[in-house]
Amino acid sequence: MSQGRPKINIDPQELLQHFRAGKSQSHIADEYGITRKTLRRILVENNITAFKYQNILTQEQIDMETANVKLLMPFAGERLIIGHFRSLG
């Protein structure tokens, strides 16, 4: 009785290095021989958020950065916080 394909084990630190090197999700998925959907699932499982500009942050880093912005600008809304993350590159 088959249980489907074997689970792909990819080191999250390797993924971060690829993203920091400026590689796209498509390029990384091709390198590992997986689909972008599988790559996104792996990112979610490892609590890694990929931003539009290839900047990768863990959920904890996002939370800390958001808290810092809210400390400096208590009335900052979603658009200002998103702008702040975009300014980080």
Domain with 74 in it = 12-87
> Which residue has 């959907």 as its token pair?
37
Confidence of residue 25 (pLDDT cuts 50, 70, 90): confident
Q: Comparing 19 with 31, which gets the higher pLDDT?
A: 31
Residue 5 placed within a domain: no
Asked if pLDDT for residue 89 goes beyond 70, the answer is: no
Residue 3 placed within a domain: no
Q: Which of 31, 5, 7, 6 is nearest to 18 (CA)?
A: 31
Q: Comparing 54 with 21, which gets the higher pLDDT?
A: 21
The number of distinct structural domains making up the chain is 1
Residue 6 placed within a domain: no
Mean pLDDT of 48-71: 76
Asked if pLDDT for residue 52 goes beyond 70, the answer is: no
Confidence of residue 67 (pLDDT cuts 50, 70, 90): very high
Residue 74 placed within a domain: yes
Residue 1 placed within a domain: no
